[in-house]
Chain A
Amino acid sequence: MPSGNIVIGTIGSDAHMIGAWVLQKALVGAGFNVTFLGAVVPQEEFVHAAIETDADAILVSSMYGMGILDCEGLREKCIEAGLKDILLYAGGNVAAPLELDRNWPEIEKRFKAMGFDRVYRNTVTPAEVVAALKSDLRLEG
């Protein structure tokens, strides 16, 4: 049974918090139990919070362009911590070199290869994320 618990925050050395802040408000509104870690969150803190709250999903925001470097290894850390099946989403300006951003399929490919279930651009709406979570977790509604 999914717990409906979600961990969300901005990863790495990134101080941009507003994207994750807006999304956590929407997730609470949609009935999820949300642990909001704020900004500048190391991978380990995401994993610890997920263990402590028995989370179904970790939502990683990255707005400053170094998302690829910051997200590498997160899936492995989850597996080591016994969270093999936890959902991992990333969203924001996840890869700032414009050469990459203009090549979205390449970004998706890289994040999938890193073990992420979904990756979103910063134009994603909270409603889309809520719908995706409900679908992936097979929750009603």
Chain B
Amino acid sequence: MVTGKVTNTRLSDDEFFRIRDEEVLPQWETGKAIRDLDECIAAARELSEGKNHALRFLEAKREGRHILIPQFGRALTEYMIEGIGFVESETAIVPDGAWNLYSDSYTRKQEFAKAAAGIERSRKEGMSMLNGWPIVNFGVEEARRITRASRLPLHFVTCDEDARLASEIALAAGWTANSVTSLQECISHSKTITLEEEIRLMQYDARLAAIYAEKGVPQCPWNTSHLTGYDIAGYHCFVHVTEAVLAAEQGVKCQFLSHGINMNLLQDIAMIRVSEKLCYEYCQRLGYEGVEFIAGVFPFLGAWPPRDDEANAMIAWNAVIPVLGGFPGMILKCQDEAFATPTKEGMARSVRLAKHMLTLMGTQRLPDGEALRTEEAMIELEVRAMLDRCLEIGDGDMAVGLCRGVAAGWVDTMVTPWKHNPGKVLLVRDAENALRYLESGAVPLPAEVREYHRAKIAEREARERRKAGLDMVVQDIQAFSTLP
């Protein structure tokens, strides 16, 4: 692994193709079939015709519509085609839908030999023994079979540390969104990789998406803040804006902002508004013109309740937030979430439920009000403080500043597998279920924001007549998955 100084600088063509030939395509034998990038781009243009992620999402944003995004991943291509076909024919998801397709976790860790064994085992057992579709093992022709089987735009969910070969295969198959995720992937799925190295890997994914777009196949990579599933709103925004800038430097002109939410209406809407606003603002301030952002909501990433009724409440509430917030992207989880990766039946039920929520809610939006304005103002103060510190200590370079911020210990969240995270912060919910800092570690919170969080926690303490502490933190983590 090459680790060292990384800066926020666009990869030159020479550098990109050197990495492609030396590091990316040789990772697995299926890399050979995509050696000719121009040929891949030409095929992708044809395959994605009428179901381009960027075009569909930009149109939805302009027209104030919502795109439903179910998720699916099974060990074998046949299962993928069957599941996608089932949901598209059994529900009204076409045309206002898109797919979030993910690989298994061995693929996400470049353990392609293990994925190969999982494919064989799945064939033998007659069911999916992998938790996703091993895109690298199957390669571009199989991925194109999936593209042809769907009438919707396809997004490839990133791998954990190194998604480069998987991204190459997905885009060559006419899927029109990969992922631009650096700190996000460290926090969500990684244990030891350095942020410097993760940024270096992501720069390739971003540059790849930009090359496709520059050659006529618009791309809308996902800039996500799924993180640990339990993170403060300001941290989500910070992750989105830093990534927005890093991807913009590589030439990415359209990004889907997939916000993991904490299931608090007011705070989640405030978070996403601040995030989108600051993505535009910081990109412009740093000289990246014409970058578009489409806001989306990813369902709660913490533990889900193990019963359909409670899970349906989660799905419905998850639909309320993007509608009232006016955010185009609505990713779906389903009733299976507590137990398993989604089944096709579960995904279809979830699509129907969400679709009916859209019918019920129409074009209602959350009215402006003092509570919402205060929440937005507090998040914005926090995020600006972090972003500006980042640019300051990075001498204007977001990549350098971000890495230094992690090293200095003030970029922090709780309960991540990533060993470079300081883990000094603790979060609890307030009386209204919004997430607050119980401990903020070395996060450079403006005093006003710190006071606001404290006052909000005090309201809950008074209401429940007990002090907030570690017990409350642990209890809150399990709150939505515990049945009464």
Note whether A and B form a binding pair.
yes
Indicate the member of B160, B190, B474 with the most A CB atoms within 10 Å. B474
Judge whether B341 and A65 touch: CB under 8 Å.
yes
Judge whether B340 and A13 touch: CB under 8 Å.
no
A122 to B478, CA, bound (A): 11
Does A131 sit within 8 A of B, measured CB to CB?
A: no
Within 8 A of A (CB), among B180-210: 188-191
Q: Which residue of A lies closest to B74 (CB)?
A: A97
B 402-418 to A, binary, CB cutoff 8 A, 1 in contact else 0: 00000000000001110
Interface size class for chain A? 20 to 34
Chain B interface, number of residues (Cβ within 8 angstroms): 43
Within 8 A of A (CB), among B330-386: 336, 338-341, 343, 346
| Smallest CB separation, A60 vs chain B (Å) | 15
Q: Which residue of A lies closest to B117 (CB)?
A: A69
Within 8 A of A (CB), among B89-141: 104-106, 108-109, 111, 114, 117-118, 121, 127-131
Q: Which residue of A lies closest to B125 (CB)?
A: A97
Among A17-25, A48-56, A74-82, A83-91, the one that faces the other chain is: A17-25
| Smallest CB separation, A42 vs chain B (Å) | 11
Contact of B303 among A10, A18, A100, A121 (CB under 8 A): A18
Indicate the member of A18, A39, A99, A123 with the most B CB atoms within 10 Å. A18
Q: Which residue of A lies closest to B191 (CB)?
A: A40
| Smallest CB separation, A86 vs chain B (Å) | 24
Judge whether A17 and B416 touch: CB under 8 Å.
yes
Does B470 sit within 8 A of A, measured CB to CB?
A: yes
| Smallest CB separation, A83 vs chain B (Å) | 24
| Smallest CB separation, B335 vs chain A (Å) | 10
Q: What's the A-B contact tally at a CB cutoff of 8 Å? A: 94
Judge whether B127 and A97 touch: CB under 8 Å.
yes
Does B212 sit within 8 A of A, measured CB to CB?
A: no
A 92-121 to B, binary, CB cutoff 8 A, 1 in contact else 0: 010011111100000000000000000001
Does A132 sit within 8 A of B, measured CB to CB?
A: no
Q: Which residue of B lies closest to A15 (CB)?
A: B189
| Smallest CB separation, B31 vs chain A (Å) | 21
Does A68 sit within 8 A of B, measured CB to CB?
A: yes
Judge whether B130 and A66 touch: CB under 8 Å.
yes
Query: At the interface, is chain A mostly helix, strand, loop or mixed?
Result: loop
Judge whether A69 and B416 touch: CB under 8 Å.
no
| Smallest CB separation, B113 vs chain A (Å) | 12
Judge whether A122 and B339 touch: CB under 8 Å.
yes
A99 to B129, CA, bound (A): 10
Q: Which residue of B lies closest to A63 (CB)?
A: B303
Does B48 sit within 8 A of A, measured CB to CB?
A: no
| Smallest CB separation, B386 vs chain A (Å) | 24
Judge whether B415 and A69 touch: CB under 8 Å.
no
Given A15-B160, A15-B191: A25 and B108 interface contact (C-beta under 8 Å): no
Given A66-B131, A96-B131, A97-B127: A25 and B340 interface contact (C-beta under 8 Å): no
Chain A residues contacting B340 (CB-CB under 8 Å) are 65, 93, 96-98, 101
Residues of B within 8 A of A (CB): 104-106, 108-109, 111, 114, 117-118, 121, 127-131, 160, 188-191, 228-230, 302-303, 306, 336, 338-341, 343, 346, 415-417, 419, 470, 474, 477-478, 481, 483
16 A–B contacts from the bound complex (CB under 8 Å): A13-B106, A13-B108, A13-B114, A13-B160, A17-B417, A18-B302, A18-B477, A38-B419, A40-B109, A64-B131, A93-B338, A97-B128, A98-B346, A122-B306, A123-B306, A123-B483
Residues of A within 8 A of B (CB): 10, 12-15, 17-19, 21-22, 25, 38-40, 64-66, 68-69, 93, 96-101, 121-123
**List of 10 A-B pairs having minimum Cβ-Cβ separation, nearest first:** A39-B417, A65-B131, A15-B189, A13-B105, A96-B340, A13-B109, A98-B340, A97-B127, A40-B191, A101-B339
